[in-house]
Structure 1
């Protein structure tokens, strides 16, 4: 069980984790999909967050990350999120709906430290020539398979992007607490193009949510890059959604 032993220090499975956590090498692939505003609203568990909409359409993202060198180890991660605006017309960011991972250490760390909705899954994320291929299962049940193939614009220089994340703590004494944080992600070898992904969804709970968020449709755009970043604390906004 995770134990907090200092302001920014935790003891997890016999290991010490100190914030910020460093991601020194990883492969990122992400596709953005249009969805109905109602589906976006239904996926967001805190009424203080407002789905970002344009012409009545919301936006969902399906993300694949292969962590090759990080303070939390080596593992694969799949993220499903919805674009939202924070309270009082605050910062635009990603509300994380689902975040399955393939290792138990990062599962426990992610839920305890940041309130991330991580759960243990099985699968692989593999490089291909111009993108990634991915498979995700929950036991014997298929969640999804995906092929992301980007042949569009290549950005020749590294770029840094601030990414705001919102989560609702899924368990523990502060269950339901709204947390947020910003990570400055550094991207190299970034390629981005229109469309560029084919996702086949199963009948798993996450797959049904993804289908409602338009993930079975062709995406608006897809990007692939090498990513490094640091992840600090996610402070609570205060209060609970009800």
Structure 2
């Protein structure tokens, strides 16, 4: 699925913002979990920046998508990435229901990344400084058990979120696809592209997943989205391989009136170092 130009770049070296790496930016042998919950689409729209992102609508509801990847082999070392996102489309007008799931390029179907905690400082410096992803360092874990695959996200000593996905008996479904991540940074809407593959086992409906949102104010807005108790689907990949495109796009974010506050910009990453140390694991009761 990845573009041919990335294959032609393979083996070449890059140095961006002081971070040296070999192309392509990739990962190997990394387990991942994913779960999607229905949400109030109209309330989700209020969390999307600018006027060109619109909630993807599954009939009359939107989707909250939680994806956690335990990156074990990457260009910048090991880390966990905990993505909390709203499925969306990109364009001047809202897209029809369901159709963007099939015509993804036509409607710019992807996800707006609301929050993206990671384990290491170097991941923040690269992911945020280069691609505009809302990365920040937090207390994270990724536990694989007989019954549940679980990941918890703590921040400032508080529970922010925990997601548990039922461990499938077998990962049998081959997945080879790409995805678009939309993020807000420097007053711009950033779009980055990732390509990944692996075999997934999944479950749908009741007891497929459990989602707990804690009391940290960073995620307070999610509690107003009327998140469904049962996941529409939840899956687990024992191993994934992924490639992050070195091409990205950005557009100015606009508002009806002059913005009163500025988005985070380069000042939030310029002094970061390239440490690969993890914070302590989150506290589990």
Residue matched to 1:123:
140
What residue is the counterpart of 1:28 in the other structure?
Answer: 32
Note the C-alpha offset of 1:233.
2.8
The aligned residue for residue 230 of structure 2 is 218
Partner of 1:138: 155
Which structure would you say has the larger Rg? 2
Structure 1: runs of 5 or more not aligned? 1-6, 170-174
Match of 1:172 in 2: none
**Residue of structure 1 equivalent to 2:242:** 229
> Structure 2: any 5+ residue segments left out of the alignment?
1-12, 96-106, 256-285
- 1:38-77 mapped onto 2 (5 Å cutoff): 38-77=42-81
Return closer, same or farther for 1:103/1:82 CA change in 2, 3 Å cut-off: same
Q: TM-score with structure 1 length normalisation?
A: 0.85
- Cα shift readout 1:194-237 (whole Å, capped 9, x = no counterpart): 13111222111243233334457221110111211110235233
Alignment of 1:166-205 (within 5 A): 166-169=182-185, 175-188=186-199, 190-195=200-205, 196-205=208-217
RMSD: 2.2
Residue 121 (structure 1) shift: 0.5
Indicate if the aligned counterparts of 1:35 and 1:212 stay in contact, CA closer than 8 A.
no
Q: Distance in 1 between matches of 2:228 and 2:159?
A: 15
Q: Report the number of matched residues.
A: 227
CA contact (8 A) 2:164 2:209 kept: yes
Q: In the TM superposition, what whole-angstrom CA distance separates every residue of 1:121-154 from its partner, at most 9, and x where no partner exists?
A: 01211112254112211121111223211447x5
Secondary structure of the 1:233 match is strand
SS state at 1:39 partner: helix
Over 3 Å counting, the alpha-carbon distance change for 1:191 and 1:115 in structure 2 is same
Q: Any runs of at least 4 consecutive aligned residues in structure 1 with deviations exceeding 6 A, and if so which?
A: none
TM-score (norm 2): 0.73
The one of 113, 120, 123 equivalent to 1:106 is: 123
